Structure 1
Amino acid sequence: MGGKQSRSSSKKDLNEVSVVPRRKSTFRGDQLGFSSAAERIRKYTTVHFGYSTLSLAMRGLDETPCELWELRELQKLNLSMNSLCSLPPSLGALDNLVVLNLWGNNLSCLPPEIGLLKKLRVLFACCNCLSKVPEELGSCTHLEVLSLANNQISGLPGSLASMRSLTKLNLSHNRIAHIPTCVYSMKGLVFLHLACNRLETIADQIQDLVNLKILIVEGNSIHSLPKTLCFLESLELLNVDFNELQSVPVELYLLSRLGRLACHPLDKGLHIIHNPLLKPIQEVLQGGLSALYNYLKPT
């Protein structure tokens, strides 16, 4: 009961903050025993691993307190699991943000001003209602992790090609029919998640992602794999399950780091058995990945 009461009072405080009128003053608020609305939000900030952090997760917010955007020192902001439908242009004022978590809201778009967050390294915007991504996001060239999973996105703007520092990109559970061209310019990608989209092919440019270790494209409609995919010698996990593959490229044996056939979604290796594979590939796979590679290798 104590936890519920505390959460309720915290939410009440935040709701009060959002409607308190701003007052102009030439003296410090603490001289009269009160603090500004911005200060009342600031008291919820903590220093976590050296970062100024504020979590407003699960507060039932349908809009953000206007005083929030005065906290320019913030480096990590968590607005997840609320009912936010939009973010104001004032978001761009938080130019020290390193991590922004917007997971689990009702956002239909991201404001163009998000491009002003030049220090941003991690952006979680999954589980929203996004149908597109603003071109201005391409200005966040220090981004290392970007999750746009579980939205309604069908493509990405070409400006995101400048994200050369990006190592993890999650676009799963969207409406993507072709891997966006800009993705092939993200040379630093180690993790690429495109499961449960509308993919039918993978372009030959996939070979440009030379640092890729994990590629997940399960649950699409892919009918063939390009042989250039087999040049990604760093691949440790390749999940092509639940597609429409009937065969595999002869060059697949080059992916030596896959190591084994995998079944559990988190296992490293090759996930492929849930496809309408034709004989003899289907039969050879019963002997495991090594049997498949021995079959594919030229004699």
Structure 2
Amino acid sequence: MGGTQSKNVTDEEAMTSGRRSAGQDENLPTVERIRKHTVTHFGFRVLILARRGMLELPEELWELTELQKLNLSLNLLRSIPSSLGVLQNLVVLNLWGNQLTSLPPEIGRLRNLKVLFAYRNRLSDVPEELGCCTKLEVLSLANNQLTGLPASLSALSGLKKLNLSHNHITHIPGCVYTMKNLVFLQLACNRLENIADQIQALADLKILIVEGNCIHSLPKMICCLTKLELLNVDFNDIQNVPAEMHRLRGLERLACHPLDKGLHIMHNPLLKPIKDVLEGGLQALYNYLKAP
């Protein structure tokens, strides 16, 4: 009995405490109620407002200027107000999985931003001001309606990972060729017909994915990317490969699984000699290409 009585008292105290806490929350200004949801994670001030079904953002959010990581993913947002520019301490901004048709020009004021996820939205263009975010290292604009990028993004010289897959891009934007620190470039499922010779400028590339396009041939200059560990050109219109391709020693095998390193070149109308040689593996291809 004593144990039961003790438990009842504890439960009653907890309920009273909960009611008191809820009452205290109601008395707080709205901005403080939002601030109570922020946490410190690995030294960063973080606020997660994902999966809230939000159609618009609370005005009080823009008072939390201390935020360094903000997650607004998987909501129903159609726009982000210009007030975003006041969050100048942001390092990571997660906007993926909304219904955004544009990003505000004020995003350019986020000079400390290193990671921007804006994939799975309805973006048809990107503001030129994004080029002012010169600390960006990771940028994902996949699954949108982009046809290109503004030339101003040439300033993103520190970018390491760029994902532009599943858009309407017909040629690799010129600004991409100036992003000389890129190690990962994803352009799958666009409308590319070629890769320009300028690709040789991306000497640090380790992963290049252009599967699911309409590329007719690979330029010789792609063979300058000797750090490549994964090159995926599956599902294109390629008939032949450059003779210099044997220089890509980092591609150690023919790969089938999407995550495997190596050369992915399946589902292309390869000419018969190349197709037959590939049955012997990547080394057989290299030997064939090197033969006088």
Fold match by TM threshold 0.5: yes
Of all paired residues, the percent bearing the same amino acid is 69
Q: Distance in 2 between matches of 1:268 and 1:87?
A: 38
Q: After superposition, where does 1:166-181 map in structure 2 within 5 Å?
A: 166-181=159-174
Letter in 2 for 1:200: E
Q: After superposition, where does 1:148-167 map in structure 2 within 5 Å?
A: 148-167=141-160
Q: Which residue of 2 aligns with 1:13?
A: none
Shift of 1:33: 8.8
Q: Distance in 2 between matches of 1:81 and 1:36?
A: 26
Shift of 1:35: 2.0
Q: Distance in 2 between matches of 1:222 and 1:143?
A: 29
Q: Distance in 1 between matches of 2:56 and 2:26?
A: 28
Q: Which residue of 2 aligns with 1:54?
A: 47
Residue of structure 2 aligned with 1:188, choices 166, 173, 181: 181
Q: Which residue of 2 aligns with 1:101?
A: 94
Q: Distance in 2 between matches of 1:33 and 1:264?
A: 53
Residue of structure 2 aligned with 1:43, choices 25, 28, 36: 36
Q: Which residue of 2 aligns with 1:250?
A: 243
Classify the secondary structure of the residue corresponding to 1:137: helix
Shift of 1:279: 1.2
Q: Distance in 2 between matches of 1:59 and 1:49?
A: 24
With normalisation by structure 2, the TM-score equals 0.91
Shift of 1:130: 0.1
Q: Structure 1 regions of 5+ residues with no counterpart?
A: 1-29
Letter in 2 for 1:241: D
Q: Distance in 2 between matches of 1:242 and 1:55?
A: 38
Q: After superposition, where does 1:1-299 map in structure 2 within 5 Å?
A: 34-299=27-292
Provide the aligned length of Structure 1 versus Structure 2. 269
Q: Distance in 2 between matches of 1:298 and 1:193?
A: 32
Classify the secondary structure of the residue corresponding to 1:123: strand
Shift of 1:274: 1.5
Letter in 2 for 1:181: G
Q: Which residue of 1 aligns with 2:16?
A: none
Shift of 1:285: 0.2
Shift of 1:281: 0.1
Larger radius of gyration: 2
